[in-house]
Amino acid sequence: MAQMARATGGQEEIIKLVVMREQARLRKDWGLADTIRTRLSDMGVTLFDKTSMWRASNGISGRIPSWSDLESGATPESIIATHGVRMDGMGGSLTDMDPDMARIKALVQQREHARSLKDFDRADDIRNELKNMGVEVYDKEKMWRAKSGASGVVIGWRGNEGPTDLEIATLVVQREKARQSTDFATADMIRDELRTAGIEIYDKDKLWKSKDGRQAPVPSWLQLQGGTGGGAGNMGGPMMPQLQGMMPMGPGGTMMAARGSATATLQTQVVHAALAAARNPASAVRTLQMLQGASGPGGRGHKAVPPSPEAQEASRFINNCQVTGRMAQIAEVDWLVGIRERCRQNGDFASADALRSGLRSTLGVELQEKEKTWVARDGRHGAIPMWTNMPS
């Protein structure tokens, strides 16, 4: 839990100015509100209106009262007495100051788990309960926000088994968007929540890693502006590692093209096409095959083979698992592994590589070629079929 401190001296002045600004905004006195905001800025205080939080340069932070609070008679003194200020670095997230936080988090997690089980009546009941508490849930953004100004993340599709790849990827994107808009309170909250769930974000490496061994790139701000960051089927999805593996890698893992090479130019064009097609697994597989067919010296040099219907179906299945967060059964993994081997047997190496990448990144299944076995993170395992035992 975050350790709270009572406001004294300059802290009390900050809170009074924050309240005065909100009172001015409530009266639509925008000139006075801007003047107070400038004064707070000169004092080293940043206001985050979207999340109803303020943060000072010395690390303290607090809540911006809502207009309904002011209309109910809230004063600087009552806000100080109720909420105080938070000292940064004391542990916990900014929203821990809300006494209903534990209840809200539990309900959000229960609702997600109910949705994963398709118990939509229960999910709707929980959503209504949250609304009665003044909490709105935004499923697409994987975020919830309360009228009090508190906010949090939506995690819980797999119950207590940890967040899914989709939940992590979406929240990582939301954090980057918050950082891009200088909403550092929300960015810090998301990072703290993910860390509590066993997910660490490494900003310098542009990478997130989970305690169970999963990892994926953090999208750059340029990618966010271009609409290619986050969510299922994008650059963070199972297709991207295959694309990266087909292009020379420069410093920091960036894709490079060989200078003065017509083949490299074609590869660059195909990479951009693959990124645009990545939201459709079947289209991505076809584009990857184009890239493979264009590969120069050092490539496989095989003629591109059109993906079979079962390869496309396998790609759709993996993508669906990523979107829904559901775990594949042993029989389903065996089916996917068998299709991958059939793709290899037929010379469709692009589909085979894409399926292997999807098995690893989305389903947590590693293929051990020498031992002819597959092993999942949860300990399940099975056999990779021999080509001689496969139907022609």
pTM value is 0.40
* Token pair of 210 as six digits: 């989970």
Helix (H) or strand (E) segment spanning residue 199: strand 199-202
* Token pair of 60 as six digits: 């303290």
Provide the residue ranges of all domains of the chain, joining segments of one domain with +: 4-88, 101-222, 239-389
Count Cα neighbours of 374 within 13 Å in the Cβ-side half-sphere: 25
Q: What is the largest CA-CA distance in the chain?
A: 81
Other beta carbons less than 10 A from residue 164's beta carbon = 25
Separation between Cα atoms, residue 250 and residue 244, nearest integer Å: 11
- Sign, CA dihedral 233-235-236-237, equals positive
Burial class (CB in 10 A: 0-12, 13-18, 19+), 252: exposed
Determine contact, residues 196/150, Cβ cutoff 8 Å. no
Q: What pLDDT, on a 0 to 100 scale, did the predictor assign at position 89? A: 36
Residue 130 in 3-state DSSP?
A: helix
Q: What pLDDT, on a 0 to 100 scale, did the predictor assign at position 100? A: 67
In degrees, rounded to 5, the angle at the alpha carbon of residue 87 between the alpha carbons of residues 85 and 91 is 120
Q: What pLDDT, on a 0 to 100 scale, did the predictor assign at position 183? A: 82
Separation between Cα atoms, residue 137 and residue 364, nearest integer Å: 29
- Sign, CA dihedral 26-30-36-38, equals positive
Determine contact, residues 257/295, Cβ cutoff 8 Å. no
Contacts of 200 (CB under 8 A, 6+ apart): 194, 208, 209, 210
Q: What pLDDT, on a 0 to 100 scale, did the predictor assign at position 181? A: 82
Closest CA to 272 of 296, 249, 258, 288: 288
H helices of the chain, in order, are 10-26, 30-42, 67-71, 76-83, 101-116, 120-132, 165-180, 184-196, 221-225, 239-246, 262-277, 281-293, 309-324, 330-345, 349-361
**Residues of the chain predicted below pLDDT 50:** 1-9, 83-99, 228-282, 294-301
Separation between Cα atoms, residue 385 and residue 216, nearest integer Å: 29
Separation between Cα atoms, residue 356 and residue 280, nearest integer Å: 17
